[in-house]
Amino acid sequence: MKKENQMIDALLKEHARNKCADDSDFLKSLEGRLDAEENIISVIEPSVKRRGYGIAAGVAATLVVGAIGVAHFTKDAGFGEQIAMNEIPPTISEGLGQGASVALEHTAPTGVKEEIRKQDNQKPKLLSNDVVPDKLASASASRMQTKGWAKTRFEIKPSKSGSQSRGSLLGHRMTLEAGEVANIRINKDTHHDFYLNLGRSPKAPSVIGDRYGALTDNAFKSPWKEPLSTFSVDVDTASYTNVRRMIQSGKVVPKDAVRIEEMINYFSYDYPQPEGKHPFSVNVETASCPWNEKHRLVKVGLKGKDIIREKRPATNLVFLLDVSGSMNRQDKLPLLVDSMKILLKELNADDSVSIVVYAGAQGVALDPTYVNDEGRKAILKSLESMHSGGSTNGGAGIALAYKMAKKHFVKGGVNRVILGTDGDFNVGVTGDESLVSMVEREAKSGVFLSVLGFGQGNLNDSMLEKITNKGNGNYFYIDSLREGRKVFLDDMMGNMVAIAKDVKIQIEFNPSKVSSYRLIGYANRMLKKEDFKNKLIDAGEIGAGHTVTALYEIVPGNAAEAAPEVDELKYQKSKPQPKPVGRKVVDSPEMMTVKLAYKQPEATKETESTYFSKAVVDGKKTWQQASEDFKFSSGVALFGMLQRQSEYAGQGNYALVRKLAEHGRGEDEKGHRTEFSDIVRKLK
């Protein structure tokens, strides 16, 4: 690499000494030398120091200067992103199709702010006549909607002949924060695909686009072999809001973005208040399964006890705000700030708010401030001063936020870190497992973590969900001010006041009544059967007044009779398993028993859980006879399965989803169920 860099440096110096007015011959010569050297600048390994990066950037600038000017790096660079002749923005591709000019895609490197400048002494040049196939033009329109093309200052103009489309570079400069995309065009005499990496090793490729954790749907299981189904409750709602946003904007929904339990639990259900010593009620309803009427569907619902807001405990809230460059979009930091202002109206003088920000470094933007009249003004002033810039040191920010929350811990109150981010952590502690371990460790202090996800294009949904699960909190996604109002006023104010934590559900199925069963959703919330009685195993929380709903699809029958007999093994002398016919099944009319485990919010990890149970007998109702909540929740579940293209959707379709949603709409005071019906109507 040293030899090649010296060669490039020498060529650049020679060209400068010659003071050539026309760069075209030099560019051709340099390209030929680079090809001969086997594309020596295509990859620069991460071990290359700042000097090596500067040479590569200089070469890039030299290659571009003949067309649009210089790429100027205004601060120290990390490793860059691939520049590839493979995309065009939607404003260009829409309506042009074949004949549009090819663009080079450029993503600002991590931690770098770039200014793409036009040479002062040059007029804007026409672009090359590279022809774009129809399928590329149409595909790029949907892919590029998430990448911030609104900031570009480029324009496409049809040529006079109408056979080609040419474009010109408008404006004097365009500034990109880290991770944002620019449309750089190169006017070349002879066209060939051109790729350039600025310091990105192929072993650590740049990640562009939203990231979701892989999900595998729960399969049907035999209660003869696996009589116990155990899972942790989940009151996150981020998946539904994110899916709604994608559908409303015409995007294809990645199936791993669909977590069915979060879609079901986005909506509240009319369960009764708990009576007696337990902090939540348990409600079970059975009816026929709408998408396979030979099966049964069981709805298990929990309802946390309500707390009068005026009597809620004092809160110690530490807002951890991502102000990195990737948050520089209207649907990110500005929306986060506007949503926080809504919450301030609900807090009082007993509540304190702190603000920690993180980007390339982390820091305290606002010391703990009580929300009285003067404090509210100080908090608003701090919020209005927020601006984005720099890379994302999320790990350091979380550590500082926890430190502040523990320092000002309110005994008997609500102590919570609230993280607002797009999840684009790229500096410091960045690995998912490292962040999860840190959050899990900090949760032992009694400080819970809630996460507010924002934006699109680089949403790290997978990581945000993981840290929330281990941080004893909730994960919300906010795509509009209306959703911000719902989250801060309806969801968060209740969920911040936990009435039970480490809540686990275990269901035992009667094999004489159930041939097989399947839990719908909760794929990444499953627990081992022995975890139910293990007090050290972490699980989900239930907030004051909130509901948790889970659905099981049941295949009726006798699992014991259906279980096949297996001959004893010839070559293995281990003790043979008992044959199904030799097992005694208790004669009971019950289909199943629902068992619950939970701890009080102030309990430690070593505290023993409280246990109770409820037996369930199938009432033999049809889904048409079931409650509105049953119909609506089953409609949302089917919607999720269809979005996931699940093999378990049976005869279900979107027409049935609409029918279930409309029959289960109920009073719907806030219009959330009506909105769901409207979304479904948009789908074919």
What local confidence, expressed as pLDDT, does residue 258 receive?
97
pLDDT band (50, 70, 90) for residue 682: confident
Is pLDDT of 558 > 80?
Answer: yes
Task: Say how far residue 287 (Cα) sits from the centre of its chain.
Answer: 34
Provide, for the chain, the percentages of residues in helix, strand and coil under a 3-state DSSP scheme, each rounded to the nearest 5: 30, 25, 45
CA distance 291 to 297: 10
For the residues of 410-459, what is the DSSP string, one character each?
A: -TTSEEEEEEEE-----SSS-SHHHHHHHHHHHHTTT-EEEEEEE-SSS-
State how far the alpha carbon of 305 is from the alpha carbons of 132, 183, 279, 610, in Å: 60, 54, 6, 16
Domains, the chain, ranges and CATH? 2-197 (no CATH), 228-232+267-303+499-560+585-681 (no CATH), 309-496 (3.40.50.410)
Proportion of the chain above pLDDT 90, given as a percent: 46
pLDDT digits (tens, 9 = 90+) for 179-221: 333 333 333 332 222 222 222 222 333 345 788 989 999 999 9
What local confidence, expressed as pLDDT, does residue 410 receive?
93
- The whole-number average pLDDT for the span 76-91 is 29
Is pLDDT of 107 > 60?
Answer: no
Is pLDDT of 508 > 70?
Answer: yes
What local confidence, expressed as pLDDT, does residue 161 receive?
38
Q: Which of 42-51, 160-169, 264-273, 615-624 has the lowest mean pLDDT?
A: 42-51
pLDDT band (50, 70, 90) for residue 352: very high
- The whole-number average pLDDT for the span 229-254 is 94
pLDDT band (50, 70, 90) for residue 64: very low
| CB contact at 8 A, 252 and 142 | yes
What local confidence, expressed as pLDDT, does residue 469 receive?
86
Is pLDDT of 654 > 60?
Answer: yes
| CB contact at 8 A, 306 and 545 | yes
CA distance 454 to 457: 10
pLDDT band (50, 70, 90) for residue 525: very high
What local confidence, expressed as pLDDT, does residue 484 receive?
94
Task: Say how far residue 566 (Cα) sits from the centre of its chain.
Answer: 46
What local confidence, expressed as pLDDT, does residue 7 receive?
54
What local confidence, expressed as pLDDT, does residue 426 receive?
55
- Phi, psi dihedral angles at 265 (to 5 degrees): -85, 0
Is pLDDT of 590 > 60?
Answer: yes
What local confidence, expressed as pLDDT, does residue 70 receive?
27
What local confidence, expressed as pLDDT, does residue 391 receive?
55
Is pLDDT of 322 > 70?
Answer: yes
Cβ neighbour number for residue 35 with a 10 Å cutoff: 11
- The whole-number average pLDDT for the span 73-80 is 26
Higher pLDDT, 81 or 552: 552
- Round the average pLDDT of the chain to a whole number and report it: 73
Place of tokens 């409303």: 248
What local confidence, expressed as pLDDT, does residue 312 receive?
87
- The whole-number average pLDDT for the span 529-539 is 94
